[in-house]
Structure 1
């Protein structure tokens, strides 16, 4: 493509004469200007009105994407910075690498477009060699998170932050280098198999512009830096070699996350032209439907959490330190697996998971609803390709997720075909790993969707959105009996816990910290009893941003995390799992934040992984109990004023707190819900067959053709949707919860085979919903 900027695509068929230049990488974090204002043409680097100085990573939704109202800014914004480069060395290539630009990006250098990309979560690169000027260059990036029919996600229960929210890097390489162009991959892949203790590493390299006599040299070193294997082959467009490591040290997850270093070098005349190092964990694994997950032959039930990539006040513009802190909190919890939902996450975080030994489920944002636009499916395939190509070398990743709750938007032959194509693509790109998907709770047990991927998981919220806690084990056992040949797990389960609310009598829907803890006590127990569940993932490790939510008096946030969104407060439910999963001795007194008590006696609950706990009241031993994980001390007396409670166990392990005796219950502990949940029997007295069709719709009144986000602004209409959704799904669906479904028509949320399940008399019920809405003028 010949442009005023030069031949961008072919970008110079350089010869191999001249100076050899090793790879250099520079992170472009400072010196950026940002604006939301419309810009004509391509902006220059001119600080002025409407422009602000920012550092990258950056998102423009750090605040409005978390404050509620479903009104965060979605549109086009500009970033601009100056690049001052040393004199270009002949025979070198210069690339820009963007690790994440949400959701669509156009990249301009000195006014010339050098790249464009769609998709918020994959990296992309641009070869800018031909567009560079000597001295100062102006880099301008247009980033746009406007909703589009051809980009996933289409709809989901989280904020779609916009911005250059991951690092931007400048990469300079010799014209002969490991490939940088193919889906922004590393240019070298490493996989391995194990046979009688010997690991055989399959190393594949793609070399750009090699010359006769060039060689690819691969050396493997252990964690002590000692070389254990090496091989050399002539350089070519594609090079493949196998190297053996006798008595290989295996990557055994969190127990022993041992990593070898595989260093691949391009050599010319005994000099290194290009070089990259890849950390590699040698492991084998299998899924047994009757027994569970095995890592290197050892039964290893995968028990852990899910994670979204955002923080309070920062949005998704996270630092390396943020990623490390998140992983260390999960390690402290005792988790051994992480579901990285619902999209490709930072390579930095995958790196940390490799080193800490977490087993990772990585997925693409094919979530909630399929858009029939063929371009959307191509985006899905593109995002799957980016995820696998860019993340192939991570030892932690064992499964590729192709979708999440995709039946919320309804079922269709096209959806099944698209899912099958995604599954086949994942296997083609990576035959070494398994595929999986997360089903919405209403997916029938005998659905053909359950036979698409290698393994399977379900998202269930019995005991929160509907049903009781005990329905979880009933459902799991029934599915296991129906499908004894299928490995399946729980990809999501959880409930809201807001640390302001407390009670002695926790109930579903009260948002109290005590109910969340009680729920997770139950779930942890039933999961322990079922090691054949290949993996279970709490939803969620951290509270996260969802600007459309308004739950429990907290706007813009999903509060199901075990830890608050700022990572500062660990909820009691965190310690439930720490008691079950952690090998580090621990003890924790629950309900510390329920400090004001209007009774003479209280019940004190203690979580610990020790066999015995002793409780003391104001320095006097109250009692000692033996239990598994949860120790309940009843009739603990409170004295006037403050009473000091101390729990001890093991060798010097202790935790303490104080409770204040007050005259009356403290009102702020109780959440008063301004809206009722929908009724589940709304259709019971309605002859839906007599309602008639929905052929005639008055556009001046509300109807099922209107957008959910508009309908729920009218209280009477919102109540109709709440009642209809609750009655069809069997769950208590508040009108405020429908906000996350806002960008679709009412009829779509009641689609056949969708989130409501297989509803009897669906057409008649939908006609009745429309009839009731048509009574309300806009």
Structure 2
């Protein structure tokens, strides 16, 4: 994919000595963490760009935020002494100072836009040059001040060495390449085209500029030569090109790209510099129904948001990996992406141009702003840089200005009145950014995204930009699924002339967690499916919703996140390694129109160990498809044809242990999957070995790192096993906690609990058993016992010491886990039991308060 990037960067043809030469500058670097001056804290290590120094963010929330130094030695031939030399950095997070031969040449603030550094002031020709870049990712008075993503530090995008003649297209202060392409009027019959070159002339002289436009098939559409006298210095040269008749229009269905090349020559016709970029003829608008229109036709924008990191690389990913992500959105049938929450690699935008994906690109103003002048100045400059660097990409339709701009205010500003004043100021700042975006690029739409808080309406913030985006999660963080359509319907009622976009919607999922009865915030793969199946249908069927962007394309790094996968936001349609989850294919079934889609949704749970109620038990097989009817065959047996509803066909099949081949088919369109069932009977067979693991207080099935299955908590029935009494520990209307539990890699086992006075009963034969009791005091962050748990009625109850009896015999008395290991820490208490009865009854009660248990296992010895 590197040739895509070369085109995007206005690279000039290398063989001609007179013109710009651009080459990658990624090899031969060394790196170390450092102090503020760039003095290494340890021995320098050899690295290759792209590079990040924050892979620790996958392991700890306290990942390194501070200084690092990058160094490189290089030589430039003496024959180059008559030319100018620059370094183009595509992205350094978050601040950079660039030194050459111990001289500071320039600095840049902002980790997500490019910048250029002129080298000649300190450059030595024919000798060794020492380059040093000091990097810092602390983000003091620099956006983002907060955010649900990791601020990976480093030189994490490509670096380019650029050699130019002294008269050239200017590498400006905003990180651009000196050329602006405009298509101010486009229709099916005609398209206007202009080019503005920023010319840096070394002397007063006559110059020529030849502009050539080639069609998508490579044929020449037009060529025109312009002449002008330039005084020494930098000035813009604006030229109007002839009208293009019957242009081949760019769209997601047909992403046809022209190519413009502008060649700068001296009065003798010698080439000085060249600018080159793809061109897409298209027009878009918001119509009277507040729908997005492309090329005169309404188009519902649906796709996925995208963060730029990928495990285990962090944000130091290749152009090929960037392209692969965009290809996943395209293959899914998406026509849209929101690049959240910052400008992304030029390779991403280049891919969107070529694949036909409409883009919302935004600056990293996230969660909370600052009135500090350094912050507002850098934020304003970020917007200018983003527009300057990406304005030539035809895929971009929307400039994003802010995301959830007041969500952190209530946590950082304690009193209500100052909070309101701060958000009113934020709205004022947002208006200034919107005005600036319209001045810099009136051809694009603007947008802001808000969390579910009607105060944005009260502050006057939600109507500033052309598009009001809502990040909505009813049925995930709280409330019910139907709260989604209720909220957006009320917004439409109150503001019928406002363009509404669902800028985020999503639910977390963990490949280790499954549920036959998925529930809100359980992190099961099945609940994520249920959630997206609901939301997408509403978005597609509601005319006044302009579009929607699933949060997120891929699971991504968020070092401060806790939940089931510590340091990871797991709302992705694909996993951390970017392999698809089953729910990805639901989106594909909903969105793809040009080819048949059939996907048996068993990839996430292909090997199942679960409790069964007997030979008559059934399990559901679900298939995602864009067909109207499908048939299912299980080990060659026809299970009948089903009508497809909401792109889902459903069957019930026998739930018996074994390996099953599943075939879902319509005519010659089919999918094949293998499903392995290992069922544990709910009724225990007397004398048979016992190996039961219970995820107490939880409705999900969890598979741990050792591939042991922990069953969902279940009520006791005669002849079997399960709990008697007690209730699930809840926080608000959600089960369990999302807080990190220390001293364990099995977070979901300790984030839920059964509380109260309760028993676990097992109808087992006499014998020797090992009982393991899992404890984590979810009420207590400190070293003492104590304190409060919420029961299902929302009442707070003191956590007391725990008494454990087995078949009436006390085995633990006044046991207080938090006194042993501290609160929110895992503790496993193992007991060997000689059972002389036909059952094992484990009674757990609280002394002077409420007892709890996070899990237990019983194993025959």
| TM-score w.r.t. length of structure 2 | 0.74
Deviation at 1:308, TM superposition (A): 0.2
- Partners of 2:647 and 2:220 lie apart in 1 by 49
- Partners of 1:718 and 1:362 lie apart in 2 by 49
**Structure number, greater radius of gyration:** 2
Deviations 1:647-671 (A, max 9, x none): 1124232222223141248868625
The question of whether the paired residues in 2 share the 8 Å contact of 1:609 and 1:629 is answered with no
Q: What is aligned with 1:264? A: 262
- Partners of 2:404 and 2:638 lie apart in 1 by 51
Q: What is aligned with 2:550? A: 538
Q: What is aligned with 1:708? A: none
Classify the secondary structure of the residue corresponding to 2:93: coil
Q: What is aligned with 2:583? A: 573
Q: What is aligned with 1:96? A: 87
The question of whether the paired residues in 2 share the 8 Å contact of 1:576 and 1:629 is answered with no
Classify the secondary structure of the residue corresponding to 1:621: strand
RMSD of aligned residue pairs (Cα, Å): 2.7
Change (3 A) 1:58 1:713: farther
1:218 aligns with 2:249: no
Deviations 1:650-702 (A, max 9, x none): 42322222231412488686258999553379xxxxxxxxxxxxxxxxxxxxx
Deviation at 1:41, TM superposition (A): 6.7
Deviation at 1:250, TM superposition (A): 3.9
The question of whether the paired residues in 2 share the 8 Å contact of 1:84 and 1:137 is answered with yes
Deviation at 1:288, TM superposition (A): 2.4
Q: What is aligned with 1:317? A: 316
Matched length? 669
Which of 110, 114, 136 is 1:123 aligned to?
Answer: 114
- Partners of 2:780 and 2:567 lie apart in 1 by 16
Deviation at 1:444, TM superposition (A): 3.5
Alignment of 1:178-197 (within 5 A): 178-192=169-183, 193-195=185-187, 197=189
- Partners of 1:408 and 1:279 lie apart in 2 by 39
Change (3 A) 1:158 1:680: same
The question of whether the paired residues in 1 share the 8 Å contact of 2:657 and 2:676 is answered with no
- Partners of 1:340 and 1:131 lie apart in 2 by 37
- Partners of 2:516 and 2:783 lie apart in 1 by 33
- Partners of 2:661 and 2:347 lie apart in 1 by 44
Q: Extract unaligned runs of 5+ from structure 2.
A: 1-15, 410-419, 683-692, 703-711, 714-726, 735-778, 796-861
Which of 423, 429, 437 is 1:418 aligned to?
Answer: 429
Alignment of 1:417-456 (within 5 A): 417-444=428-455, 446-447=457-458, 448-456=460-468
Deviation at 1:415, TM superposition (A): 1.2
Q: Which has the higher strand share?
A: 2
Q: What is aligned with 2:44? A: 51
Deviations 1:21-55 (A, max 9, x none): 21111211111110114386768xxxx96211110
Classify the secondary structure of the residue corresponding to 1:277: strand
Change (3 A) 1:611 1:243: same
- Partners of 1:86 and 1:440 lie apart in 2 by 56
Deviation at 1:281, TM superposition (A): 0.4
Q: What is aligned with 1:32? A: 29
- Partners of 2:287 and 2:119 lie apart in 1 by 49
Deviation at 1:215, TM superposition (A): 0.9
Deviation at 1:522, TM superposition (A): 0.7
- Partners of 2:787 and 2:360 lie apart in 1 by 38
The question of whether the paired residues in 2 share the 8 Å contact of 1:301 and 1:532 is answered with no
Deviations 1:476-535 (A, max 9, x none): 112112211111110001010111111111111111000100111111111111133212
Runs of 4+ in 1 over 4 A off after TM superposition: 39-43, 664-669, 671-677, 711-723
- Partners of 1:676 and 1:231 lie apart in 2 by 74
1:607 aligns with 2:624: yes
1:633 aligns with 2:650: yes
Q: Which has the higher helix share?
A: 1
Deviations 1:526-550 (A, max 9, x none): 1111133212100000000001111
RCO greater where, 1 or 2, for CA within 8 Å and sep 6 or more? Answer: 1
- Partners of 1:517 and 1:71 lie apart in 2 by 32
- Partners of 2:785 and 2:171 lie apart in 1 by 54
Q: Extract unaligned runs of 5+ from structure 1.
A: 1-18, 682-710, 728-778
Classify the secondary structure of the residue corresponding to 1:517: helix
- Partners of 1:403 and 1:622 lie apart in 2 by 51
Alignment of 1:199-598 (within 5 A): 199-209=191-201, 211-235=204-228, 236=230, 237-268=235-266, 269-288=268-287, 290=289, 292-410=291-409, 411=420, 412=422, 413-444=424-455, 446-447=457-458, 448-552=460-564, 554-568=565-579, 570-583=580-593, 584-594=595-605, 595-596=607-608, 597-598=610-611
The question of whether the paired residues in 2 share the 8 Å contact of 1:231 and 1:241 is answered with no
Q: What is aligned with 1:648? A: 665
Change (3 A) 1:141 1:249: same
The question of whether the paired residues in 1 share the 8 Å contact of 2:169 and 2:197 is answered with yes
Q: What is aligned with 2:835? A: none
- Partners of 1:372 and 1:98 lie apart in 2 by 29
Classify the secondary structure of the residue corresponding to 1:360: strand
Q: What is aligned with 2:766? A: none
- Partners of 1:676 and 1:309 lie apart in 2 by 36
Deviation at 1:291, TM superposition (A): 5.4
Question: Which has the higher mean CA deviation after the structures are superposed, 308-317 or 407-416?
Answer: 407-416
Classify the secondary structure of the residue corresponding to 1:527: helix
Alignment of 1:693-732 (within 5 A): none
